[in-house]
């Protein structure tokens, strides 16, 4: 690999340009280098700290115990449906969100993946998930490692008839709870750059260009000729035979829209010349909505967490429960993911429930052709006309109200931190006020056969109407799976890169 800190040549050429070096981008780059003789450039807006062994990574990105916020893009949800803006954390660094995420690696429910129109069998999917988990060094927290809070939360779930299981990594799993599969060997967040790029970094056909913001692509009919990058004060031209966007659910549609690929009328209104009229770019945005109850830790729990923390880090999250709401589809439609955080004024115990089968859909749209300008992102959380998302979350909150009152948890919790957490109400206004999200945006460049119906890419990830442009990341997922999304994105990237090569 050439150093990313060379004096930048304002013109770069490679066989393949990968735009975005996150979870998916690292997979695609590594596999192309490993399985072809092509030269590959990865362009990443944030820093590349090099291989894990190089020792240059900031400690907070390595420490899997808590979620860092040092490399955040600064996106916000407009919050129109919730009447308050919500931060939408996204990492701007090599490895992308895998470099700052919670490290829970679940696979979800197998049938969800067969709704995407991809030609993968159950057996292929199972093997892709297992191989991806192995590459990410996924293991499972042992009972001995559970913090006193996590052990009590799991016990409360079991008392509430959510049985102990070990099937969070099984595509055929059902309702149950257990310690999470996690990609943190020795407590290190094993991001996709370590897992995929490190083994090929010495290969001269791979180059990582960091601190480089992709402004737009320039097309000649259906062919992308070049990408324009901004690096420092400089404009850089990147020429390639193939361009693969891996900018994530917000970054990839932004790059397409700035390039004139999207809803033609919206683009014209911004002064961007339309190149490919694809109405679906930026639409179909969805995530798992959550609602959370919050309590101060009680004195006994504070003592227990302090004792636990004397010898090791206290992970925020370790246990996940899968449950089913009253009207939810089988086998489960809720995740319970209790976590603790250490605030300056004491420990907080948070009980979020996520709706895994959301029906609400939102959109991302540009306000300007300027790549520095933030888009308007409106997830329209909890707006589906049937009220199904709210109903599922209401049932999840009812489950939590039983858990926090159970003999396993009640003696450990202090005062509720807001009126909704104090209960007993679960009215719509309270649910909206206590709602957040699970950091799993998908869908803005959805796979599908028909561009007029909102599809942006075909089942190979190729952008409809283009000859040499693909999107491979969470944005192409047309319907979110019942899983934390990192492992599914790795498996999807593995599948699409095989189709590509």
- Residue 50: C-alpha distances to residues 47, 73, 238, 275, 459 (Å): 9, 20, 22, 37, 33
Q: How far is the CB of 452 from ligand FAD (least distance, A)?
A: 25
Q: How far is the CB of 3 from ligand FAD (least distance, A)?
A: 19
Question: 99 vs 160, which CB is nearer to ligand FAD?
Answer: 99
Q: How many contiguous H segments (helices) and E segments (strands) does the chain have? A: 13, 23
Question: 291 vs 296, which CB is nearer to ligand FAD?
Answer: 291
Q: How far is the CB of 206 from ligand FAD (least distance, A)?
A: 16
Query: Which among 169, 44, 42 has a CA at the least distance from the CA of 487?
Result: 169
Q: How far is the CB of 38 from ligand FAD (least distance, A)?
A: 20
How far is the C-alpha of 139 from the C-alpha of 183, rounded, in Å? 6
How far is the C-alpha of 38 from the C-alpha of 499, rounded, in Å? 16
| Polymer length in residues for the chain | 501
Question: 133 vs 301, which CB is nearer to ligand FAD?
Answer: 133
Question: 257 vs 474, which CB is nearer to ligand FAD?
Answer: 474
Q: Answer yes or no: are the C-beta atoms of 252 and 457 closer than 8 Å.
A: no
User: 3-state DSSP helix/strand/coil percent for the chain, to nearest 5?
Assistant: 30, 25, 45
Q: Answer yes or no: are the C-beta atoms of 13 and 180 closer than 8 Å.
A: no
Question: 318 vs 468, which CB is nearer to ligand FAD?
Answer: 318
Q: Parallel, antiparallel, or unpaired: how do β-strands 261-262 and 276-277 relate?
A: parallel
Q: How far is the CB of 296 from ligand FAD (least distance, A)?
A: 23
Q: Which helix (H) or strand (E) holds 429?
A: helix 428-433
* DSSP annotation of 180: P
Q: Which helix (H) or strand (E) holds 353?
A: strand 346-355
Q: Answer yes or no: are the C-beta atoms of 442 and 477 closer than 8 Å.
A: yes
Question: 247 vs 478, which CB is nearer to ligand FAD?
Answer: 247
Q: Which helix (H) or strand (E) holds 412?
A: none
Q: Answer yes or no: are the C-beta atoms of 191 and 64 closer than 8 Å.
A: no
Q: How far is the CB of 443 from ligand FAD (least distance, A)?
A: 11
Question: 1 vs 257, which CB is nearer to ligand FAD?
Answer: 257
Q: Which helix (H) or strand (E) holds 153?
A: helix 148-159
Query: Which among 451, 441, 448 has a CA at the least distance from the CA of 489?
Result: 441
Q: How far is the CB of 208 from ligand FAD (least distance, A)?
A: 11
3-state secondary structure of 185: helix
Q: Answer yes or no: are the C-beta atoms of 268 and 247 closer than 8 Å.
A: no
The structure tokens listed for 206 are 């791979």
Question: Helices 388-404 and 148-159: crossing angle, nearest 10°?
Answer: 110
* Interface positions with ligand FAD (CB under 6 A): 19-25, 43-46, 67, 89-90, 92, 96-98, 100-105, 213-214, 246-248, 251, 255, 439-440, 473-474, 484-487, 489
How far is the C-alpha of 333 from the C-alpha of 417, rounded, in Å? 27
Question: 183 vs 325, which CB is nearer to ligand FAD?
Answer: 183
Q: How far is the CB of 72 from ligand FAD (least distance, A)?
A: 8
Q: How far is the CB of 425 from ligand FAD (least distance, A)?
A: 29
The residues pairing with 322 across neighbouring beta strands, listed in sequence order, are 176, 335
Task: Give the residue at shortest CB distance from ligand FAD.
Answer: 22
Question: 16 vs 67, which CB is nearer to ligand FAD?
Answer: 67
CB under 8 Å to 418, separation ≥6 — which residues? 294, 434
Q: Parallel, antiparallel, or unpaired: how do β-strands 435-437 and 289-297 relate?
A: antiparallel
Q: Which helix (H) or strand (E) holds 431?
A: helix 428-433
The structure tokens listed for 467 are 């000859």
Q: How far is the CB of 170 from ligand FAD (least distance, A)?
A: 16
Q: How far is the CB of 356 from ligand FAD (least distance, A)?
A: 13
Tokens 């959109």 correspond to 363
Q: How far is the CB of 139 from ligand FAD (least distance, A)?
A: 14
Question: 150 vs 484, which CB is nearer to ligand FAD?
Answer: 484
Q: How far is the CB of 493 from ligand FAD (least distance, A)?
A: 7
Question: 426 vs 485, which CB is nearer to ligand FAD?
Answer: 485
Question: 43 vs 323, which CB is nearer to ligand FAD?
Answer: 43
Question: 213 vs 404, which CB is nearer to ligand FAD?
Answer: 213
């Amino acid at each position: 690999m050439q150093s990313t800190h060379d004096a930048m040549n304002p013109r770069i050429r490679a066989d393949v340009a990968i735009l975005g070096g996150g979870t998916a981008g690292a997979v695609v780059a590594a596999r192309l280098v490993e399985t072809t003789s092509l030269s590959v450039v990865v362009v990443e807006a944030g820093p590349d700290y090099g291989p894990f062994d190089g020792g240059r990574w900031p400690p907070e990105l390595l420490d899997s115990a808590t979620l860092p916020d040092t490399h955040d893009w600064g996106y916000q949800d407009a919050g129109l449906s919730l009447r308050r803006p919500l931060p939408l954390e996204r990492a701007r660094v090599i490895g992308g969100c895998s470099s700052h995420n919670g490290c829970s690696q679940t696979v979800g429910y197998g049938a969800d993946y067969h709704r995407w129109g991809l030609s993968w069998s159950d057996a292929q999917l199972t093997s892709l998930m297992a191989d991806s988990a192995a590459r990410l060094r996924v293991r499972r927290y042992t009972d001995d490692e559970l913090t006193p809070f996590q052990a009590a939360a799991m016990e409360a779930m079991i008392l509430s008839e959510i049985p102990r299981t070990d099937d969070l990594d099984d595509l055929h799993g059902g309702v149950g709870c257990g310690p999470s599969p996690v990609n943190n060997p020795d407590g290190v967040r094993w991001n996709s750059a370590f897992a995929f790029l490190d083994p090929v970094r010495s290969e001269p056909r791979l180059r990582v260009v960091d601190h480089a913001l992709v402004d737009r692509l320039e097309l000649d009919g259906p062919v992308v000729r070049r990408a324009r990058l901004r690096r420092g004060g400089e404009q850089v031209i990147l020429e390639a035979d193939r361009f693969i966007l891996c900018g994530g659910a917000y970054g990839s549609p932004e790059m397409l829209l700035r390039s004139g690929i999207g809803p033609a009328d919206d683009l014209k209104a911004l002064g961007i010349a339309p190149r490919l009229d694809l109405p679906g770019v930026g639409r179909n945005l969805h995530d798992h909505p959550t609602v959370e109850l919050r309590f101060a830790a009680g004195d006994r729990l504070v003592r227990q967490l302090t004792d636990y923390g004397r010898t090791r880090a206290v992970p925020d999250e370790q246990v996940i429960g899968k449950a089913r709401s009253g009207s939810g589809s089988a086998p489960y439609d809720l995740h319970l993911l209790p976590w603790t955080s250490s605030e300056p004024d004491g420990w907080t115990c948070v009980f979020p429930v996520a709706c895994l089968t959301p029906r609400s859909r939102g959109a991302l749209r540009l306000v300007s052709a300027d790549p520095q300008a933030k888009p308007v992102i409106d997830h329209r959380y909890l707006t589906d006309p049937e009220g199904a998302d709210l109903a599922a979350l209401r049932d999840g909150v009812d489950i939590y109200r039983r858990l926090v009152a159970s003999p396993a948890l009640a003696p450990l919790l202090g005062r509720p931190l807001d009126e909704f957490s104090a209960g007993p109400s679960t009215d719509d206004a309270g649910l909206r006020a206590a709602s957040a999200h699970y950091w799993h945006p998908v869908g803005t460049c959805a796979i599908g056969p028909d561009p007029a119906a909102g599809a942006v890419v075909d089942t190979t990830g190729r952008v409809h109407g283009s000859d040499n442009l693909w999107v491979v990341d969470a944005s192409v997922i047309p319907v979110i799976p019942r899983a934390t999304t990192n492992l599914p994105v790795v498996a999807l990237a593995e599948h699409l890169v095989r189709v590509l090569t």
